[in-house]
């Protein structure tokens, strides 16, 4: 890959990550996060790691961020949450992190300017080589990671498990006309209209 493509992808990744932090609307922030992950995948591809690039898109951009968006949609935060976020993050709160980040930026620019250039184009690593490395010298790491994921899975299952499941709504007789619409619906789309009604 030529250097130009690398710098474009890297710039998009940095810019979209900055936008992830500054967006007040959660769904918009998550969309920039997905964009940033795709840009990172392009960078990986350029460095000769097509397998990692593909997994980056499949696992992170394609599944995990979608899951985040799903949860945000389920909570349906809307405009009020954006206002709360705005109150939470007044401009002066940015000063500290901005100064520290600027120091880091200066440092990295300095190092880039005087240090030897790293090669952008490396030899492409085929998926087979990745597999042989993972299940050869790094087998222990893979097993530990899978143990961690398994315990997380069991934990999540335990948290979600109920001894007595809720009776299905469609079988239960309505207790009262008011009970039909009693806060059961966690989904409030078209929030402006329903906010007026509630």
Interacting residue ranges for another protein, rule: CB under 8 A: 27-28, 31, 34, 38, 50-51, 53-55, 57-58, 61-63, 66-67, 69-70, 73-74, 76, 126-127, 187, 189-192
- Closest contact distance (angstroms) between CB of 93 and another protein is 26
- Closest contact distance (angstroms) between CB of 49 and another protein is 10
- Closest contact distance (angstroms) between CB of 159 and another protein is 16
Q: Quick one: CA dihedral 15, 18, 19, 20, positive or negative?
A: positive
What's the count of helices (H) and strands (E) in the chain, helices before strands?
Answer: 9, 0
Pick 103 or 142: Cβ nearer another protein? 142
With both helix axes pointing from N to C terminus, report the angle between 3-22 and 26-46 in degrees, rounded to the nearest 10. 160
Pick 17 or 191: Cβ nearer another protein? 191
180 Cβ neighbours under 8 A, 6+ residues apart? 174
Compute the distance between CA of residue 19 and CA of residue 39 in angstroms, rounded to an integer.
14
- Closest contact distance (angstroms) between CB of 62 and another protein is 3
| Whether the Cβ atoms of residue 16 and residue 39 lie closer than 8 Å to each other | yes
Pick 148 or 189: Cβ nearer another protein? 189
Pick 50 or 81: Cβ nearer another protein? 50
| Whether the Cβ atoms of residue 46 and residue 5 lie closer than 8 Å to each other | yes
């Amino acid at each position: 890959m030529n250097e130009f493509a690398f710098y474009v992808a890297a710039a998009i990744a940095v810019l979209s990550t900055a936008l992830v932090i500054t967006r007040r609307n959660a769904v918009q922030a998550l969309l920039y996060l997905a964009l940033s992950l795709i840009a990172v995948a392009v960078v990986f591809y350029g460095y000769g790691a097509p397998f990692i690039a593909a997994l980056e898109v499949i696992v992170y951009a394609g599944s995990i961020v979608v899951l985040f968006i799903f949860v945000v949609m389920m909570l349906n935060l809307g405009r009020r949450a954006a206002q709360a976020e705005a109150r939470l993050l007044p401009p002066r709160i940015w000063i500290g992190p901005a100064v520290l980040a600027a120091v880091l930026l200066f440092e990295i620019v300095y190092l880039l300017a005087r240090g030897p250039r790293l090669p952008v184009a490396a030899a492409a690593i085929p998926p087979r080589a990745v597999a042989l490395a993972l299940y050869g010298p790094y087998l222990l790491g893979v097993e530990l990671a899978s143990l961690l994921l398994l315990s997380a899975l069991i934990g999540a299952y335990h948290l979600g498990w109920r001894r007595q499941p809720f009776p299905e709504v469609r079988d239960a007789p309505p207790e009262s006309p008011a009970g039909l619409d009693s806060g059961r619906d966690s989904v409030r789309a078209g929030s402006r209209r329903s906010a007026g009604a509630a």
